[in-house]
Amino acid sequence: MAKIKVGVNGYGTIGKRVATAVSKQDDMEVIGITKTRPTFEAKTAAAAGLPIYVPAESIPAFEKAGIAVAGTVDDMIAAADVIVDCTPGNVGPEYKEKYQKAGKKAIFQGGEEHGLTGVSFNSTANYKDSWGMQFSRVVSCNTTGLLRTLSLLDKAYKIQNAYVTIVRRAADPGDSKTGPVNGLEPSVSLPTHHGVDVKSVLPWIDITTMAIKASTTLMHIQAVVVKLGKEVSTDEVLDLFAKAPRVRLVSSKDGIKSTNQVMELARELGRDRSDMYEICIWSDGVKVVGDTLYYYQAVHQEADVIPENVDCIRSMCKLMEGPESVAKTNKALGIDH
């Protein structure tokens, strides 16, 4: 069967990782990426042999920088079967019109509203909902993390309600555009979008969320309190988490006490860009008291949505069922389960 032709629009934190992950699958290929400026990432993409498409007005700047241009963004859209749109948040609506006009499928990211596509995606929670769709949205990194665990808890024990406080990284490691660099900044627009976005995938979950930005670039941490529909033991929940797709148990007893040590583990694993695709839960920080479950999970914001984008392509192109796609993506990216 012919490989699915994937174009990646926007080659930043998420776009470059999606391009690498897609290029590792045997049923899809990257036919091009887009850049608007001839930065170092355009040069590394060119060195990796990726065809670079740019807006027509940017061609002179790329020529001046000595970076070969394969065509315009419109040319890439025309050549692709699926576009993974990794442009900054709220840029999506402008491109959706182009994808629609060209009759192409497209995946948007969590910086866009659910209303843009009407369907949102998470591999564990609702793979089937994007089956054959023209448009879908892979929810944000924090929402992806929450869905990986809450969807399974709900299936096993029926969630009565969930309260989550998120400590968010202030910027990605390569950014110099935001802060705080020395402080904690509460999100005063409440409740935060994360709970709303969980409901865009699992509408029946009663969840509410708050968030605080912290002076770190590495990961987000989520402190989760869930009232379950029945009393279970802490060991039972640990067993569920241990088997959960793209969830990894870590332990402070093993020397992983904080996010910097989780990222050190990711470096030890030797993955592309030292990415931790799994949501990491502290096994010694999981506790059930009566019907209330408490746990902490860490989210590598640059990485957890990457395998989901690959699975979303398969669902939209009706290539295979969810568990099969998750296993295939995991194998290609070096994820255990």
Q: Choose the one of ligand X15, ligand NDP, none that binds residue 11, judging by a C-beta under 5 to 8 angstroms depending on kind.
A: ligand NDP
Stretch that binds ligand NDP, among 11-19, 24-32, 115-123, 247-255 (CB under 6 A): 11-19
> Does the annotation list 86 as a binding residue?
no
Q: By CB under 6 A, is residue 173 in contact with ligand NDP?
A: no
Enumerate binding residues for ligand X15 (CB under 6 A). 110, 140-143, 168, 194, 301
Nearest C-alpha neighbor of 278 from the set 252, 249, 312: 249
N-to-C CA span, the chain: 26
Options 86, 141, 280, 317, the catalytic residue: 141
Rounded to the nearest whole angstrom, what is the least distance from the CB of residue 240 to ligand X15 in the complex? 23
> Does the annotation list 111 as a binding residue?
yes
- # chain residues binding ligand NDP, by CB under 6 A: 27
317 catalytically annotated: no
Neighbours of 239 (CB within 10 A): 12
Residue appearing with tokens 């005063």: 188
Q: By CB under 6 A, is residue 9 in contact with ligand NDP?
A: yes
Q: Choose the one of ligand X15, ligand NDP, none that binds residue 14, judging by a C-beta under 5 to 8 angstroms depending on kind.
A: ligand NDP
Read off φ and ψ for residue 125, nearest 5 degrees.
-90, -40
Widest CA span in the chain:
66
Binding residue (CB under 6 A) for ligand NDP from 122, 301, 315, 329:
301
Binding residue (CB under 6 A) for ligand NDP from 28, 35, 148, 209:
35
Q: How many residues make up the chain in this entry?
A: 337
Rounded to the nearest whole angstrom, what is the least distance from the CB of residue 297 to ligand X15 in the complex? 13
Q: Please give the single-letter amino acid code of residue 268.
A: E
CA angle 95, 172, 267 (to 5 degrees): 120
Give the x-and-dash track for 83-112 against ligand NDP (CB under 6 A). ---xxxx-x-----------------xxxx
Nearer to ligand X15 among residue 9 and residue 58 (C-beta): 9
Instruction: Give the pair of three-digit tokens for residue 24.
Output: 């590792």
Rounded to the nearest whole angstrom, what is the least distance from the CB of residue 231 to ligand NDP in the complex? 35
Residue appearing with tokens 């994360």: 194
Nearest residue to ligand NDP, scored by beta-carbon proximity: 12
Contact between residue 18 and residue 84 where contact means Cβ atoms under 8 Å apart: yes
Residue appearing with tokens 């910097």: 260
Instruction: Give the pair of three-digit tokens for residue 166.
Output: 């998120």
Rounded to the nearest whole angstrom, what is the least distance from the CB of residue 9 to ligand NDP in the complex? 6
Read off φ and ψ for residue 23, nearest 5 degrees.
-70, -15
Rounded to the nearest whole angstrom, what is the least distance from the CB of residue 318 to ligand X15 in the complex? 27
Strand partners for 54: 72
Q: Choose the one of ligand NDP, ligand X15, none that binds residue 36, judging by a C-beta under 5 to 8 angstroms depending on kind.
A: ligand NDP
Contact between residue 277 and residue 307 where contact means Cβ atoms under 8 Å apart: yes
Q: Choose the one of ligand NDP, ligand X15, none that binds residue 91, judging by a C-beta under 5 to 8 angstroms depending on kind.
A: ligand NDP
CA angle 215, 20, 261 (to 5 degrees): 35
Measure the CA–CA gap between 291 and 233, rounded to whole angstroms.
9
Nearest C-alpha neighbor of 236 from the set 160, 156, 154: 156
Strand partners for 6: 30, 82
Nearer to ligand X15 among residue 89 and residue 255 (C-beta): 89
Q: Which residues bind ligand NDP (CB under 6 A)?
A: 9-15, 34-37, 39, 86-89, 91, 109-112, 140-141, 172, 301-302, 305
Mark the binding-site residues for D-glyceraldehyde 3-phosphate, compressed into ranges. 140-142, 194-195
Mark the binding-site residues for NAD(+), compressed into ranges. 13-14, 111, 169, 301
Catalytic positions = 141
